[in-house]
Structure 1
Amino acid sequence: MATPSLPLQFLLLTLLLLLLHTSANTPQSRKPIANNPLTDYIKSSCKATRYPAACLQSLMAYANAIRQNELRLVQTALTVSITRTQSCAFFVKTAARQKGIQAREAQAVKDCLDNMHSSIDSLTQSAKELNGLTGRASAQDFAWHMSNVQTWVSAAMTYQSTCLDGFSGPYYRTMNGRFKSAITAKVVNASQVTSNALAFVNRFASKHLTQTPSN
């Protein structure tokens, strides 16, 4: 699969992440976080995810930008998932250029890279779909948009899992251990962040579908 182009929506998402990062690193954000309702909201939200440690590590810096707003939480989680997956893809691509890489390693890396690019595509589509929601959406429109978001995030997780499959099984037991561990660690981190993003998407969809007026 060819490397996907970066659509305007992805560039906007990247800009959003940069703005969130800037907001998160203001002098105010560096104050002690004890009894801070903004960080308490992140902590409470992360407890409901499958990977709370990864959740806290990836989102705590954006507490001031999220500001206890569930939609912002979902948008930020998806944006972070995109950047983590993109970073992972770059790492895998760099690893493929190492000297002395074996044929089976090269094939596993190529397959993994293709899957990570597909994962980025799916996550970008999900974020674009989410950002297209309006406050006036009917229950039917809201459900349709959120179903698309859930489908694309789930697909992104499948692509990431397929990448990991390429480095497992008896056929790859002789693969360079350090080489395999370095790549799988990056992919696992990206997949955990994506899993957490899906948890927030599902919660947002479930909670707000009943609150959305029907036509």
Structure 2
Amino acid sequence: MKKLISKYEVTIVPAIIGALILALGFYVATNEITPILNLLAPYSLMITGFIAFFIAFGLPGIKDLFSKPSDPKGNIKNFFKYFILTAVLGISASIFLQFILKLNLTANPTSGHLFSLIAKIPFMLLGEELISFYILLVVANLVYKKTGNQKSAELFGIILSSVIFGLLHYSTYFNGNPFTTLIHILLIQGSARIAFNLSGLKSNSIIMPLIIHLTYDLVMLGLFQ
């Protein structure tokens, strides 16, 4: 995966085209349009994610993105480390928002519908991983070309990807108050994205954060089933 930051030459026009295609996929995923498009909605981010990566990085880039996880400290350790970090960040933020700030948080609308969505969830989460890592890797690539500092490029990409990932959940968790909704999605969804992003960069593959994301969501949705 890290090759996509330092070894590939991403240019502005393909990067923007890829982003627009992903925006279209997000629109299809979150809006009632036509019966056919509604059937495609759970898979639209995944489909447009692959197209965007192909445009920006080509087929070799997609292969590098899905390379075998190879965390130097071990893939199993990576899984548990970032799964626990995701849980700690999410639960801590939830406690802070609900019991300290006394905010009324909107629950995930899929809670209580786990079994009806179980076959679609992996594809939906793969779409979320693709859009998140597209932002991270394109931004980091462009920053790296300007600065030559990979750590700074990765940090900038992680932060921007996490913020945008949180913002993409605005309509899902809107509670009638724009301000408290923003606090909710940036602290809970945004912080979870930081853990997923770190896992991907450490394992050098999108596969590990996808596994963590899938496991975490299934556990959390199962608890509130």
What's the TM-score, normalizing by structure 1?
0.32
What's the TM-score, normalizing by structure 2?
0.30
